[in-house]
Amino acid sequence: MTGGEASGSRTGGERTAYLVLGMHRSGTSAVTQLLSLAGARLPANVMPGDEYNQQGYFEPWKIAILNDERLRAAGSAWDDGFAFPFRPLAADDEALWSERARALFAEEYGRVRHPLMKDPRVTVLLPFWRKVLERQGVGARCVIPVRHPLAVAGSLQRRDGFPPEKSVLVWTAYMLAAEAYTRDLPRGFVAYDALLADWRGQVARIEAAHGAPLPKLDEKAARRIDQALSPDLRHNAGGGDLSGLGWSGDLAARVLDWFEAAARDARPARRILDEAAAEMGRRAAEMGPLVSPAARDLDVARTGLIEARRRAEHLEDVLTRQQPDLEAGWRARNALAAVEAELDAALAGEDPKS
């Protein structure tokens, strides 16, 4: 597990956020669940689970919506294979987005000491989010799960119908971003399969990389993590030959080798990723203009539907949790109405001269 070589951001201050970075469907939810049970604090509004992730996504869905909008503002989307490198906006526009993000972060986390933020979109937007956190005096510790891109591709094909060539290219963009944008931060690389097999060993590595223990990993938390993490979470088997996917598979294979070595506590040469990033840049210059904007238009519609669904699910969850109180309130109101009726009847029967 490799830590940051420099100290370009506060990590030992009063508030330190845990950032779970990496590709969608790559184990970020499992890592986030572990960190939340070990004392880091989830946001106020968390995306519920569905048939693709029954234990929940643990994502701040309001922040995810903002991130989708910020990506679109720069002509990108969450499933953009060329989302790396980061695309800054004009200074005035970026300042407005930064203020929106700052207010939303405060709304979701208040003043908790260890906010826990997991939205894969943050990975490709990390230069933006780092500035938001730094301006609030919040440091960062990063955890980056590593999962074979073909396992990710299988999940995305089942959920979104993506061809594997696209999925492994998007995976490569996210992983290059996760490494490049955290070089000066405490960070730990965690193999997804190893996490499910022996989470305690992986936690020890995370703590060593961060130079700090998890906020509250006691015996009670350990028992809950034992129940939450199991090999049953592995719905798509990892492994396989990427060479059959053409240049995107060859590029992903080189990046995967680097991350698997880092997750074994080796120190692979950084030039491997730098060369991969350079090739990604060349491919983006050649192919980027050919990517249809229809994909971004579809993302706008999809995001609107997701937002409506999440708001409905959140309201349903709130009503379910408040139902006992509501029922008690209605019973009390009915009882009060009965008392008032009796009182009105008694007053009506009184002698007016009394």
Q: What pLDDT shows up at residue 41?
A: 96
Q: Could you tell me if 231 and 286 lie in one domain?
A: yes
Q: Are residues 242 and 212 in the same domain?
A: yes
pLDDT beyond 80 at 240: yes
* Sign of the dihedral through C-alpha 57, 23, 291, 67: positive
* Final residue of a structural domain among 291, 311, 345: 291
On the question of pLDDT at 265 being above 70, the answer is yes
Count of structural domains, the chain: 2
- Higher pLDDT, residue 158 or 205: 205
Average pLDDT over residues 84-105: 97
58 and 143 fall within a common domain: yes
- Residues 340, 307, single domain; the answer is yes
Specify the higher pLDDT residue, 77 or 258.
Answer: 258
Residues of the domain holding 328 = 292-354
Residues 276-285, mean pLDDT to the nearest whole number: 95
> Of 269, 291, 313, which closes a domain?
291
How does pLDDT run across 320-343, given as a tens digit for each residue?
Answer: 766 776 666 677 677 767 766 766
Q: Helix or strand or coil: residue 93? A: helix
Residue 352's alpha-carbon distances to 79, 257, 344, 347, in angstroms, are 79, 94, 14, 9
Q: CA dist 110 to 9, 18, 45, 107, Å?
A: 21, 15, 12, 6
Give me the residues paired with residue 53 across strands: 50
300 and 192 housed in the same domain: no
- 331 in the same domain as 278: no
Q: Is the pLDDT of residue 79 over 70?
A: yes
Both 41 and 181 in one domain: the answer is: yes
Q: Please, what is the average pLDDT of the chain?
A: 85
Same domain, 287 and 304: no
Same domain, 318 and 279: no
Q: What is the CATH number of the domain that holds 120?
A: 3.40.50
Does a structural domain hold residue 24?
yes
Is the four-CA dihedral 189, 195, 198, 200 of positive or negative sign?
positive
Q: Are residues 274 and 296 in the same domain?
A: no
Same domain membership, residue 131 and residue 94: yes
Q: Name the residue among 38, 18, 36 with its Cα closest to residue 141.
A: 18
117's enclosing H/E stretch is strand 116-118
1 inside domain: no
Last residue of a domain, which of 291, 313, 335?
A: 291
In this structure, the answer to whether residues 246 and 140 fall within a common structural domain is: yes
- Average pLDDT of the residues in 218-242: 79
